[in-house]
Structure 1
Amino acid sequence: MGEKSSFAGSVLETIKTIVYALLIAGIFRTLFFQPFWIPSGSMKDTLLVGDFLFVNKMVYGYSHASCPSIRIASLGLDIDAEDICGWMKSDNSRIWGGEPQRGDVVVFRHPVSGSDYIKRLIGLPGDKIQMQRGQLFINGEPAPTEPAGTFTERFEPQGPEGRTPRCENGPVGAGGICEKSRYWETLPGGLKHAILNVTMQGSDNTGVYTVPDGHYFFLGDNRDNSTDSRVAQTAGGVGYVPYEDIIGRADRIMFSSAGRSMLFFWTWRSDRYFKAIE
């Protein structure tokens, strides 16, 4: 009888330890840092498919979007952030809110689908944003660009989604070298970051977007391969992102996997450990 009681007590203590650990992990993820694995190439070459990073949630304060969404299709689990923290959703405000800065690389919650996106913040409330022949204009002034060489990668399936990259020198056969023109773009305030070009397409010539109060305008650095604020939410794009849907700022890559899973340690890129995001 004593052995059974001791065993039951041991099992109970193990369960309590697991529950406490999950609660602590959940609180840590909600309040401080959220892990994020880059699934697509919309932010190349700043971020590559397979980069693993932590999102700083403290810098912008907290809203309902700060709570994690838990989606495990194989288990039929679909718990949205609003299911947990919907009580915080009100008037597009935040607790201890900090102001995002132009040029920040930001993770945000899509206002319609609830999916997490990562893009560069280009337009602040009240800004007028336009693309003309691939060049960015902010409040009527062009963002200066200068050539920065050629970005190259192999034409092969990338990441868990298995997407192949678009190439400026295409078509490229499997295993071939895929090229994109690379430029330095300088934003108002002096921040310089890399952008890529594949071709001239519709998203390179747009009307003028006037960013509403309390909202932000985002672009991917891989401009011709990014679903971002240039397309309205009703058309499947990102549109203007409300302040309350911002999750946090991406500051540093922890490590990066060139394989189909971040668990394939033999595919980790040795030059991207603890790399700062600029």
Structure 2
Amino acid sequence: MNFALILFLLLIASGALWSVDRFHARKLRPAGTPDPWWVEYGASFFPVILIVFGLRSFVVEPFKIPSGSMIPTLLVGDFILVNKWTYGIRLPVINRKIVAVNDPQRGDVMVFRYPADPSMDYIKRVVGLPGDRVEYIDKRLTINGEAVPIREDGSYLHPDRLYYSPKYVERLGEVEHSVLIERDAPAYVPQVLNFPGREHCTYVHAGVRCTVPAGHYFVLGDNRDASSDSRVWGFVPDQNIVGRAFFIWFNFGDMKRIGGFD
């Protein structure tokens, strides 16, 4: 049972208690009588839960980065905020879009429900839009026949393992962001799942070529050789989108990691 569903059930329960107290039970209590326990511990929490539920469902939602697939942009332990309305207003819990606003763009850092297990939330960078021809061959990204601009940018020190990875700056649309690409790691994609739309992809020893189906997106992690992403488990359907990540608000291991990111 996910947190959104738990919060929704608490909202319904506290709202029912609040309604009973507000429109019925309160009128029957003698003046000066203390509120019963079910009002103090149930109905009184309804306004707070309503505000939290509304903010979390339609405005911003906090997430914690659990893995290193988005290094160096996002580190393990980063607490981030996700804009819930930039890609459209969706019904809570079932995540069904009811109002279209914007579509994901190349370069966006997007949170979504993992297609192979929608109970899990994943975060990756949007690379391919519906209809795009995406190639990741010999660790070079090509979209619709044009190589994505990339340049070397020194190296990145992994503080937990004390080793360096080659760092590059990649440009997707208007977004420049850092990526890590290990020169010695193999180019082929291991352990590919049998995902929906698998027929739209061709796997070769040097990588993968895919045509993104309508209503779907191709995503990659910035830590290219340490990311399980669309190369492995396929495309992200529009109905799985949660929102766009845009702000780091805390990290217990590094108090300086606060602010926006590309």
Going from structure 1 to structure 2, the CA distance change for 1:271 and 1:63 (only over 3 Å counts) comes to: same
| Higher Cα radius of gyration | 2
Runs of 4+ aligned residues of structure 1 deviating over 6 Å after TM superposition are none
1:109 counterpart residue number = 113
Number of matched pairs: 215
2:247 counterpart residue number = 252
Q: Assess if the C-alpha contact under 8 Å between 1:94 and 1:244 holds in 2.
A: no
Separation of aligned partners in 2, 1:105 and 1:213: 20
Separation of aligned partners in 2, 1:9 and 1:153: 56
2:165 pairs with one of 180, 188, 192: 180
1:126 and 2:128 aligned:
no
> How many Å apart are 1:230 and its aligned residue?
0.6
Q: Which consecutive unaligned segments of at least 5 residues does structure 2 have?
A: 1-28, 190-204
**Superposition TM-score, scaled by structure 1 size:** 0.71
Q: How big is each residue's C-alpha offset from its partner over 1:123-160, in whole Å with a ceiling of 9 and x where there is no partner?
A: 011101111211111111111211111111234xxxxx
Q: Assess if the C-alpha contact under 8 Å between 1:133 and 1:200 holds in 2.
A: no
> How many Å apart are 1:10 and its aligned residue?
6.1
1:53 and 2:67 aligned:
no
1:191 pairs with one of 167, 171, 175: 175
**Superposition TM-score, scaled by structure 2 size:** 0.75
Q: Which amino acid aligns with 2:246?
A: D
> How many Å apart are 1:242 and its aligned residue?
1.1
Q: Which amino acid aligns with 2:180?
A: L
1:99 pairs with one of 80, 100, 103: 103
1:242 pairs with one of 234, 237, 245: 237
Q: Which amino acid aligns with 2:147?
A: P
> How many Å apart are 1:11 and its aligned residue?
5.7
1:77 counterpart residue number = none
Q: Which consecutive unaligned segments of at least 5 residues does structure 1 have?
A: 68-80, 156-175, 232-236, 259-268
Separation of aligned partners in 2, 1:37 and 1:223: 20
**What SS does structure 1 have at the residue aligned with 2:208?**
coil
Mapping 1:1-278, distance limit 5 Å? 6-9=33-36, 12-64=39-91, 67=92, 81-82=93-94, 88=96, 94-114=98-118, 115-155=120-160, 177-187=162-172, 189-198=173-182, 199-201=184-186, 202-203=188-189, 205-231=206-232, 237=233, 239-258=234-253, 269-273=254-258, 275-278=259-262
Q: Assess if the C-alpha contact under 8 Å between 1:134 and 1:200 holds in 2.
A: no
Separation of aligned partners in 1, 2:110 and 2:230: 13
Separation of aligned partners in 2, 1:94 and 1:230: 30
Q: How big is each residue's C-alpha offset from its partner over 1:63-93, in whole Å with a ceiling of 9 and x where there is no partner?
A: 35xx3xxxxxxxxxxxxx34xx6xx4xxxx6
> How many Å apart are 1:23 and its aligned residue?
2.7
Q: Which amino acid aligns with 2:237?
A: P
Separation of aligned partners in 1, 2:165 and 2:66: 19
**What SS does structure 1 have at the residue aligned with 2:127?**
strand
**What SS does structure 1 have at the residue aligned with 2:111?**
strand
Separation of aligned partners in 2, 1:14 and 1:37: 29
Separation of aligned partners in 2, 1:211 and 1:63: 23
Which segment is superposed worse, 106-115 or 208-217? Answer: 106-115
Q: Assess if the C-alpha contact under 8 Å between 2:208 and 2:231 holds in 1.
A: no
Q: Assess if the C-alpha contact under 8 Å between 2:110 and 2:242 holds in 1.
A: yes
